[in-house]
Homo-oligomer: A and B are copies of this chain.
Amino acid sequence: MTVLKIRNKQQCRWDLVSLGEVMLRLDPGDSRIATTRQFRAWEGGGEYNVARGLKRCFRMDTAIVTALADNPVGRLIEDLMLQGGVDQSHVHWVDFDGVGRTVRNGLNFTEHGFGVRAALGCSDRGHTAVSQLQPGDIDWENIFAKEGARWFHTGGIFCALSESTPLVAREAMEAAKRSGTIVSYDLNYRPSLWKSIGGKAKAQEVNRTLAPLADVMLGNEEDFTAALGFEVGELDENHSQLNAASFRKMVGKVVQKFPNLPVVAITLPNAKTAPVNDWGALC
């Protein structure tokens, strides 16, 4: 059994560093987006939320690496992240063009579901500063070697933002490994993001390229199949009868393919709460 060796807190300024987009979330409360007259403002993003949760629930020291356009919307995201307690010293600020043609900040309109009415989201995240992040923009050696980080987290949403973001993720993951930082990658497959840049095939290509650099791979069943190209056998229509054995088999294949992965965690799709299962014992 492989055990994760995590660096000492004393050597590291950061318990965790996340790389990903942070969007302004606009939420109409009890109303619907299409008929509201009022929005509440929050910040959010798949990779960022991990850093925020660890900070505010467990008081860990976490930092976010992202990019923002320097306009009042970007500064509102900064203000929300300040409240979130996640360090922003590695946020990459980009000049705004005054219009939003060349660079923007991501927005996410979200609506609660009630009873038979499903929850509804409308993301507006094209042409964002973070999607234009390039290798070389961030001083990863400073973060991992000099300041020190115990854990680095990124994932498949960030890598679906553009052609360049997987290159930034690779650069970061390699730097993290050089400093002995644990690397986790959340597959988080979002078809709409991949659609115009190569679809499922591209998603699999990107994720398979990055998987050898991760220590921990996270995802639900769809993430492992659609976004990483593995298959779970004997699966009925609703995924409701996926049995542990099938999963165990798939995880076996994942570990065979990527022997670098001591931990593979699958959130079961029909579970009420999302248990994270440590499959490391299979290695």
Contacts and interface: CB of A to CB of B under 8 A. Distances in A.
Interface in A5-35: 26, 32-35
B111 A126 contact: no
Contact of A126 (B75, B107, B127): B127
A76 B39 CA distance: 12
Contact of A36 (B41, B104, B111): B41
Given A37-B40, A37-B41, A105-B124, 12 more contacts: A26-B26, A26-B39, A34-B72, A34-B76, A38-B40, A39-B39, A73-B122, A100-B107, A100-B123, A101-B127, A102-B126, A102-B196
A120 B71 CA distance: 11
A122 B71 contact: yes
A38 B35 contact: no
A235 interface: no
Contacts of A97: 126, 192, 195-196
A282 interface: no
Given A33-B76, A79-B35, A82-B82, A126 B98 contact: no
A125 interface: yes
Most B CB contacts (10 A, CB to CB) among A98, A105, A192 go to A98
B126 A72 contact: no
B82 A124 contact: no
19 contacts: A33-B72, A34-B72, A34-B79, A35-B76, A38-B38, A39-B39, A71-B122, A72-B120, A73-B109, A82-B85, A96-B122, A97-B196, A99-B193, A100-B123, A100-B125, A100-B127, A102-B196, A104-B124, A104-B126
